[in-house]
Amino acid sequence: AALVIRMVADVAGIKRVHVRHEQTATFAADAMARMTRRTAPCIIGPSTGITNCTSGLAQAMAAQSPVLVIAGEHPAWTDNVYFAQGLVQAEKVFTGITKKTTRVTSPKSILSEFKRMYRLAMTPPMGPTAISIPWDTSYELSRIPLVEAYFLYGPGNFLRTERKMTQEDPALVEEAVKWLLSGEKPGIIAGESVWYDDAQAELRELSELTGIPCHTRRMARGAIDEYNPLNSGGRARGRFLRGCDRALILGLRIGYLEMHGYPPFWGEQTRYIQAQTCRENVDLFLGTDYELIGNIKALLRQMIECVKDMGIKKPPEKWNDWRKYIADSKGYYEQKVLERTEKMRGVTPVHPDLIGRLAYEVIRDELKDEAISVIDGFTASSFYTDWN
């Protein structure tokens, strides 16, 4: 199996990176998949190699990150026999943390399964997939001469792995947009699919055209400048989410970090449009009046054209007080945090809230924002990311 994998990688010009631990491999693949918006493969050894890589897979599953794990396994004939480091089967271990895990028991199906799982990882709802290759399958494959293997499997064709720019029924989009614009306190809550579908520019255009405040979460953060008054980030998000009477959920798979759609994170009386890449990402707890399914970039383009067709060329004045409320809320919480962290100076142990502020001030004032900060800490990140 390794022979064909190396051969395909060489033909395709794929650079291989060796890491010291299987957990590192899946975390690195997760990061690569998020940055490139493409399926990122990694190769894992058998037994404890399979169990070691599960943390990265679980994270990729939570982030809808398109990762492909190619895992070696003990020989299939030893399935019910204690062997080597124990009977670890990827199909069992990866249940619940991959979209699908398939076991290849014939070398003739390796490349077709590789293609299938590569594409499946990219198909919304995106997420990690895995292929397990038993020892005896790879042994059989290693006996195929190099030339025969090349002509049998070929370099492969992955040109059709990109997602199509699917749109929604124009009449339904128009009805939903008019419904949103008729609200007294509308809002937009954007999530990871804005990044995966490369829709940042369209999100900014819609927000600036309508003047509707927007809250960006997870990988959508930064799509709208967080210093922009229309970005209701930080501690002000609570007032924003509970204050909306109508809101557009845009490419955000709602989960634990959003209390699964329940108050008090969400407004008790708020009604929603959910625009998602697939129906599986639609949250069923929120009071939803419209569901729009399609590529987020394409859906936003449809919405923008609807707004323009309605004659809107600049933010409607009827939402001036609502926009001011959001801006004032951001200012209020920023001042509260400044006052809170001033009292922390000189106190040990140093509070992570103060560390976040000091790091922010150095990056802003001395490094002129020309720096990227990375933090590894669960509690600390809650404070740190509010500053940076």
pLDDT, residue 314, reads 93
Residue 334 or residue 2, greater confidence = 334
**Where residue 151 falls among pLDDT bands split at 50, 70, 90?**
low
Q: What distance, in Å, lies between the first and last C-alpha atoms of the chain?
A: 45
**Where residue 260 falls among pLDDT bands split at 50, 70, 90?**
confident
pLDDT of 106 strictly over 90: no
Mean pLDDT of 205-220: 94
Cα–Cα dist 256/388, whole Å: 23
Q: Per-residue pLDDT tens for 321-367?
A: 999 999 999 999 889 989 999 999 999 999 989 999 999 899 999 99
pLDDT of 298 strictly over 70: yes
Omega before residue 349 within 30° of 0, cis: yes
Token pair belonging to 178: 């008019």
pLDDT of 148 strictly over 50: yes
Going by C-alpha positions, the residue among 334, 326, 333 that lies closest to residue 211 is 326
pLDDT, residue 194, reads 97
Going by C-alpha positions, the residue among 264, 252, 123 that lies closest to residue 195 is 252
* % of the chain at pLDDT higher than 70: 89
Mean pLDDT of 6-21: 75
Residue 23 DSSP one-character state: H
pLDDT, residue 142, reads 61
pLDDT, residue 1, reads 46
Q: Per-residue pLDDT tens for 321-331?
A: 999 999 999 99
**Where residue 224 falls among pLDDT bands split at 50, 70, 90?**
very high
Q: Per-residue pLDDT tens for 153-177?
A: 555 555 555 566 789 999 999 999 9
pLDDT of 301 strictly over 90: yes
**Where residue 376 falls among pLDDT bands split at 50, 70, 90?**
confident
Cα–Cα dist 138/299, whole Å: 45
Ramachandran region, residue 260 (left: φ > 0; alpha: ψ -120 to 50; beta: rest)? left
Distance set, CA 173 to CA 204, 218, 270, 273 (Å)? 18, 25, 19, 10
Going by C-alpha positions, the residue among 378, 199, 377 that lies closest to residue 216 is 199
Global pTM value: 0.83
361: how many CB neighbours lie within 10 A of its CB? 11
* Dihedral sign for Cα atoms in the order 8, 163, 193, 119: negative
pLDDT of 295 strictly over 50: yes
Mean pLDDT of 196-222: 95
pLDDT of 250 strictly over 70: yes
pLDDT, residue 271, reads 96
Question: What rounded mean pLDDT belongs to the chain?
Answer: 88
pLDDT, residue 270, reads 95
pLDDT, residue 264, reads 86
Give the range with max mean pLDDT: 107-111, 190-194, 237-241: 190-194
